[in-house]
Amino acid sequence: MAPKVFVITYSVYGHVNKLASSVVKGLQKTGGVQVSQFQFPETLNSTILKAIHAAPKPDIPEITVDKLAEADGILFGFPTRYGNAPAQVRAFLDSTGGLFAKASLYGKAGGVFFSTASQHGGQEVTASSFMSNLVHQGMVYVPIGYKSPHLSDLSEIVGGSAWGAGTIAANDGSRQPSEKELAIAEFQGEEFAKVVKKLAGK
């Protein structure tokens, strides 16, 4: 059976979900993995979501702790919150103690992609501050390095880094993921699928 890759996102204004579509495209391009998309459970109520003009949630299932254990590789996508993962992501991960106790995620591949409002708003620190979640579960972090030429492109603003794909949303959320950022996200999906297959001995 093909190894399973889960792409799990949290997004308020849709930027991270747009990156996720390209990540999925890349995973499918490499092929040989079974790809499923999930979202982290929301903790904000509908009144608050309306007040902050949140985008409608995508039509994908919410991740559960039991489901998480089925994955062979997991790509986590989220916007920064002061250089950290959002509380919604962390609240879900705080409920994975049972998986930790059984080492259910041990040796599985993990990667991250992200969004910030500003160019220097913490893309890399958001990824690095998430690392202990992977490390303490014994997961194998899969970065993307600098193989994609778009990551070294200085001709325009390009989000993302060696740590993972990224986009820059602007303070009012008006900037959308650029072609280069989406290409990096697709590249991340392609490369991640290769590593998951290697880890699974496929």
Ligand X SMILES: Cc1cc2nc3c(=O)[nH]c(=O)nc-3n(C[C@H](O)[C@H](O)[C@H](O)COP(=O)(O)O)c2cc1C
State the residues that interact with ligand X by CB under 6 A: 11-16, 79-83, 115-118, 121-122, 169, 173
Work out the burial of residue 77: count CB atoms within 10 Å of its CB; fewer than 13 is exposed, 13-18 middle, 19 or more buried.
Answer: buried
Nearest to ligand X of 137, 161 (CB atom): 161
DSSP class per residue in 118-175: STTS-HHHHHHHHHHHHHHTT-EE---TT-SGGGG--SS----BTTB-EEE--TTS-P
Q: Cα dist. 119→39, 41, 89, 141, 171 in Å?
A: 25, 27, 22, 24, 10
Per the structure block, which two tokens stand in for 38?
Answer: 């999930």
Work out the burial of residue 187: count CB atoms within 10 Å of its CB; fewer than 13 is exposed, 13-18 middle, 19 or more buried.
Answer: buried
Nearest to ligand X of 11, 137 (CB atom): 11
CB of 18 to ligand X, least distance (A): 8
Q: Residue 184's closest CA among 134, 131, 146?
A: 146
CB of 184 to ligand X, least distance (A): 16
**Residues in Cβ contact with 176 at an 8 Å cutoff, skipping those fewer than 6 apart:** 15, 18, 167
Nearest to ligand X of 86, 110 (CB atom): 86
Residue in the shown chain whose Cβ atom is closest to ligand X: 121
Nearest to ligand X of 11, 133 (CB atom): 11
CB of 10 to ligand X, least distance (A): 8
CB of 119 to ligand X, least distance (A): 8
CB of 31 to ligand X, least distance (A): 27
CB of 94 to ligand X, least distance (A): 18
Nearest to ligand X of 32, 173 (CB atom): 173
Backbone dihedral angles phi then psi of residue 85, each to the nearest 5 degrees: -70, 150
Nearest to ligand X of 99, 117 (CB atom): 117
